[in-house]
Structure 1
């Protein structure tokens, strides 16, 4: 655990997060220093954040006109200022102070995720073969949970996803999915590394390497088509896989907004939309739609850190 995460582990209600989540949160929040005599709560601004006093002395004026002295490091300072009530009317730094700001929505989804992960890991029959959801901060990073597709899912769906994933041990050199096969599962890489290759011009071309926390296999499920690449394990590891019917029910149906072909063509014809071809250039050059933007899916993922 990093020093910053160790500091977070002393704060309420943050201390309930897993070590992996604390490390992730430490990279996303910020500590600000304010000089003696200023009102740091006004300067910090915003009501969508939880604000902690980490160091220094801060006098706050409450809405009933009373005042209170807060000292960084004391028990009460381990809780956000104005937690579960409202922020004070004003404040004054008696000494230089260090404040920590954490986005409320970000912390809420992290805590919800960790709570559901703990329930899923501890369900009866789990044991050593249960998925280590609390460590899966790659595929289910804060960015994915707050700004990605998963942000649109209700907590109940996320919980159900955890229950339906199957944990599978894999060996180095094992082929997980093969180009041209029918899509049957969506995968999360819990541990290990694997390579992604594709036949281009009669030769196998390595196009990506996946690490723990990455996901793959959804393209064939969403488009109901054949696998467009081969994924092979480079090391021993563990996969979490979700069967196609469960993927469609819990991920595709709530998130995919379909547009009929006729309506799509109308939008393109009127200039309201453009076709996006996510295949590799070698495929696009053969039968790409006129005027389409060719942007391979792996490049989109890399640009968005997915």
Structure 2
């Protein structure tokens, strides 16, 4: 059976109040959520059409906004899902375990799962750094600009584990109105962030100069030529006096490489926990409450900076999530603070239908006390 074609809706603005209630989108900053939704699709599916088919890999989070859907298992068993009855994506295992068929006309949102995971991790790491940066009094004047940088266009291309390195590698450069910062056709050897001022982006084509955009504080430019190792495809000229922060080519390439994170093989999971390692689930509270590892505590990545004070540097902490991206980030960030951390390798194995029935059966809430997990009330 093939999924039937749905009817794409004309381009519309997503209702942020609505999408910001969905799990795990609710934990994303507005800038990262908007970047995610720019590539998402909102669709209408007519009664009788299928949303997805059992056995398929589609790499999507599918959220039902309105209408009724039947989830049909291989044995013919049907389960009805009503729009907004759940804030989670519908029957999210890959490959699909059931076929979803619209019982009524439905509206839904489809989001690329890989992009969601990347932007969610980036957003939550930025939240972690914002809390840490705000505690450093000598950075008070730069907090707003630094947070703008962390939510800039560059960081959708750089692994989030490297974000702590960025500010130590930036070199300030005072510039003046009319200065040509990069020229179309040149080979790029650095990229820039605008700390103060504005610049115009222009392109020469058919003997004419075309104005493409005016960019301001927090915007990164020049990175495409470094990523693609190509000539500059536009010129950037300062519109006003200002200050740029320059990042050299070699430093940029270092940021593209994932740092080494200590990991634990999946087959060593039970033994490591039995030896006293504390399991830490860094997913959202809603995801955690659906089922987690026995006696695992919930420390969502976006509040890691607050909760880290409850950890003990004498204990070992094993981090996990549904894909491994958020947990690797958490393990890396806390290892930098001197904690003993491990990230569970191949986390996705935990979330297969069979493994969930074995490993993720605990729904009790656990808290950190003296660095250890204790049952919550």
TM-score normalized by the length of structure 2: 0.47
1:105 matches 2:109: no
Q: Supply the RMSD in Å over aligned alpha carbons.
A: 4.3
Aligned partners of 1:90, 1:104: CA distance in 2, in Å?
18
Q: Does the aligned pair in 1 maintain the 2:45–2:107 contact within 8 Å?
A: yes
1:94 to 88, 100, 103: 103
1:20 matches 2:26: no
Given the superposition, is the C-alpha separation of residues 239 and 116 from structure 1 closer, same or farther in structure 2, using an over 3 Å criterion?
farther
1:6 matches 2:22: no
Aligned partners of 1:210, 1:161: CA distance in 2, in Å?
28
How many residue pairs get aligned? The number is: 223
Given the superposition, is the C-alpha separation of residues 245 and 59 from structure 1 closer, same or farther in structure 2, using an over 3 Å criterion?
closer
* Correspondence for 2:142: 129
* Correspondence for 2:240: 235
Offset of residue 244 of structure 1:
6.0
Given the superposition, is the C-alpha separation of residues 230 and 97 from structure 1 closer, same or farther in structure 2, using an over 3 Å criterion?
closer
* Correspondence for 1:268: none
Aligned partners of 1:59, 1:207: CA distance in 2, in Å?
51
Gapped regions of structure 2 (runs ≥ 5)? 1-12, 203-208, 259-377
2:123 to 114, 132, 137: 114
* Correspondence for 1:162: 166
CA deviation string 1:248-275 (max 9, x = no partner)? 5435x99xxxxxxxxxxxxxxxxxxxxx
Q: Does the aligned pair in 2 maintain the 1:8–1:26 contact within 8 Å?
A: no
Offset of residue 106 of structure 1:
1.2
Offset of residue 129 of structure 1:
0.2
CA deviation string 1:37-83 (max 9, x = no partner)? 3333239x742111111110112134676432211122x2x100123
Given the superposition, is the C-alpha separation of residues 56 and 18 from structure 1 closer, same or farther in structure 2, using an over 3 Å criterion?
same
Q: Does the aligned pair in 1 maintain the 2:47–2:102 contact within 8 Å?
A: yes
Aligned partners of 1:217, 1:34: CA distance in 2, in Å?
40
Given the superposition, is the C-alpha separation of residues 236 and 9 from structure 1 closer, same or farther in structure 2, using an over 3 Å criterion?
farther
* Correspondence for 2:88: 79
Aligned partners of 2:182, 2:110: CA distance in 1, in Å?
47
